[in-house]
Structure 1
């Protein structure tokens, strides 16, 4: 059914919302948008706040922060880093809920390696790490003191001893042995060489150990005889009795000596007795003074004198006159040391 006002048709009010209803709907929608935006804002504000733990200078600090990076955390706390100080995680790392940030202060240490000493500051935890930071790499046999796993402390002195092993091969002589054989036909004290000895040769392998260039040890690893030595063979006399001047002379040993002669000098002998025939001068280191002797070509004698030129296997015989001494001259004789 239609109604006409001023000649125009008009729909019934039950056919749809009027202008006033549209305004109400728009107002409700705006209120919903404002509430949603506020919720998102407060939710983001609460989400940006993080709880972390800061360890610095031996202290543990629990913090609430909204900054983005570890570097920002230190900056907001007024923590300054010195040379060599270390931060874990790194400064650029993003801050996360429950994170632990540790600041390790560097300490002074000295490192000696290969004879050179380096002073540095390091935040390393162990000696191994400190050497790695200093770019000093110990070899497998190098000696490190303190040990590589020792904790680093302030003013620690770290030493790396460079160990080097050198292998050398050398040839050395091998001494020969002397084989003695008794001979009853030789006078006691006399020695006759039957075969001359000859040295051998041996190749040796040595390992030389050096610490910082100085030799500290050497060990022979192996040896091999190249040429064996040849023994020296000698015969040693055992005969202790000879017949001289129609008499048997028993002796303890015989000595081959060079004999000279002297005569009166106006002085007594070294033993204080006046010189006479039968007194001889000897080297007391070889024949003690007072020893009874038998000298071939001279006869029985007693060692009672010494002389400046009488040394070793030399003997000086007293003669009654200078002419006899000259006639004797210099001879090689056997001197028998009597029992």
Structure 2
């Protein structure tokens, strides 16, 4: 022990004379001097410390370094030296406004043509205030979390009415649309001198129908015949059959009995 003590004294003197850290001299002589090399990093400033003291808190106290609030110490070994870094930690609170998207409600209406959409109640965005807690370490943001959230304006729901009524194009050049299409048997009749069931004299564009299938007064488009109005009835016209009016018996014979599509117009 006496030899080691005298050796330490000699090494200390050598350190003073040659400006060599005692720890390096000890390492070159393969002697454990008991001195620890610390690299202290505080507020971005590095400082090398050689000391017998192993208590980090005492080392910081001696260097007049104070830990505040949430400050903490990070310790690790770097290149055979103990790195002590003081992490300056603080928390701030910030507020941020955000929009709240409004919901959309779609209602369906069978009286409106399919594909038509009407906004009956305009939607409005809401607004909320979010308070964040932001944690900083050594001046850099480390963590962000939601501390509080408050709605300051409720969003208003948007209401849309969407048509469901089927629209059938009768002919590309006629600009007619139909709400229903019936496949029916058709015959033809001509002048009899009698009035129709609706009190008019028949003419081209008049058809006889079963009012239980097609109500009187209904506008239709008959395939191969054209536009017509259901104005008449007949004893043989029952169920899924129509009788179209033509100007002569010859035209009626030519028409004969056939299956046609009858478009019920809007």
TM-score (normalised: structure 1): 0.40
Q: Greater RCO between the two (CA within 8 Å, min separation 6)?
A: 2
Greater Rg, structure 1 or structure 2? 1
TM-score (normalised: structure 2): 0.49
